[in-house]
Structure 1
Amino acid sequence: MKIKRHDLAIRFTHWITALSIFVLFFSGFGQMPMYKRYFVDQLPGLSWSSNFSVTLNLHYFAAILLIFISIYYLTYLFMTKRYDVIPRKGDFKESLQIFASMVGLAEEPENDKYLAEQRLAFAVTAFSILVLIITGILKVYKNLPMAEFSPGAIFWLAQIHNLFTIILLFSVIVHLLAFLIKDNRPLVASMFTGKIDQDYVRHRHSKWWEKLHKNAVSEHVDEVSMGNEI
């Protein structure tokens, strides 16, 4: 039996975010310029990659897409009040326990819908995206005629933008490497189908399983009560 883990809105957010970030990475590194120096533009179909104007416009397009999906996701969170991915007190300690369990030094704690490490990773990724959006907007604004930025401000704006680009890149790599761990692999399919195996939830996400069970019982009681009233 399958249980819904991600609705369509979450899957839409995930894949649009992934697409925009990938394009931002590719177009951003292309402006250094790296692709002519390392002959990337000699690869079939990538002759445009060393064209600064093309990569700049592509970067702007992907940035607009990322801003859109960020606003969309924030609206989704506020409307649905599904804050289960937001970090909680004790997540750092619990994450250490999860890592220790991977090498046999501890028992894995009981997990909710998202593991503590996933909630912390979400926070790092979300904050990095926020900083990149703010610094990116300022980097565009400084090019306008009415903008006045000191050389020092421009320098640090670029450094902060670059720093959080590396942090975001690192978090994406860690996110992908996490699926090399056997216990995490069943989660991959859920980002496509939205569903996950019931036995996996019962075994790996026991806290979430208890909540699902309580909600199911509560809904059943409500249905019976309504039936009796009728």
Structure 2
Amino acid sequence: MAGKNVGQKKSSILRHTLTVRMIHWMVTISTFILIFTGFGQMPIYKRYLLDQVPGFAWSSNYEVTVFVHYSAAIVLVFAAVFHLIYHGMCRHFNLLPRRGDLRESYLLVKAMLTKGKEPPCHKYLPEQRLAYFFVAGSLGMIIITGIFKVLKNLPSMANIFSNEFIYWMTLFHNIATVMVVFGIIAHLGAFLFKENRALLPSIFTGRADLEYIKHRHSLWYDELYSQNIICSDRQSCREN
């Protein structure tokens, strides 16, 4: 029985390039740091004794949290700009929402809940495209409002913006933060569905199981086949 599996390898296909994975993790890590340090600029960490936990003494230090917050913001802005330029130049637009995504998302979730037949999907599921639009828009709002919040702290810009303008920038900044937190919870919550878990390793390795792609992302599978990236025997025609 053991000899039967010798030399067998599970066929997989490249789903996320190294560049895409690097951008994803830069955005992810910087966003979590921004959320943590953003709340740290309020007295809640000292109030609830988080700064008494070993390794978190800095969390209630305003100067430190501001420095870390600004550092993470620089990383996020760089990753966001690079993301737009890279995918724009490569003409990678398959994550943008399409007409009918709301209806298809409903049908897909319904199928997962009822164990019914799912509609055929492209490389990204319809709810993934909607989630991308929601989170990207929220992060964009955080970046834009955050830039104005930083500028108003510069001595040379202190008198340019009115208090009312800064009030609204701060309000939208906070609203966008809540939206991002909600988006992260929804994004991670999607993996509660067993059907979605097969894609989780791909954000680390970049590769996804080809049989899963054929079953769950049949429209993308057909595209790969038409481009000779995969062959009729379900093996990769060339290294991805």
Please, what TM-score do these two structures have when normalized by structure 1? Answer: 0.91
Q: Tell me, which stretches of 5 or more residues in structure 1 are unaligned?
A: 220-230
Q: Tell me, which stretches of 5 or more residues in structure 2 are unaligned?
A: 1-10, 232-240
Q: Deviations over 1:86-131 (max 9, x none)?
A: 1111111111111211222863210100000000000011111111
Q: Which residue of 2 aligns with 1:98?
A: 108
RMSD (Å), alpha carbons: 1.6
1:75 counterpart (64, 85, 104): 85
Q: Deviations over 1:60-80 (max 9, x none)?
A: 000000000011111111121
CA contact (8 A) 1:31 1:52 kept: yes
Matched, 1:166 2:178: yes
1:178 counterpart (179, 182, 190): 190
Give the match's secondary structure for 1:113: coil
Q: Which residue of 2 aligns with 1:198?
A: 210
Q: Which residue of 1 aligns with 2:21?
A: 11
CA contact (8 A) 2:34 2:69 kept: yes
Q: Which residue of 2 aligns with 1:223?
A: none
Runs of 4+ in 1 over 3 A off after TM superposition: none
- Displacement of 1:217: 7.4
Q: 1:214 to 1:47 in 2, by over 3 A?
A: same
Aligned pair count? 219
Q: 1:62 to 1:217 in 2, by over 3 A?
A: closer
CA contact (8 A) 1:97 1:106 kept: no
CA contact (8 A) 2:224 2:230 kept: no
- Displacement of 1:82: 1.4
Aligned pairs for 1:1-230 (under 5 A) are 1-104=11-114, 107-147=117-157, 148-216=160-228
CA contact (8 A) 2:27 2:79 kept: yes
Q: 1:49 to 1:167 in 2, by over 3 A?
A: same
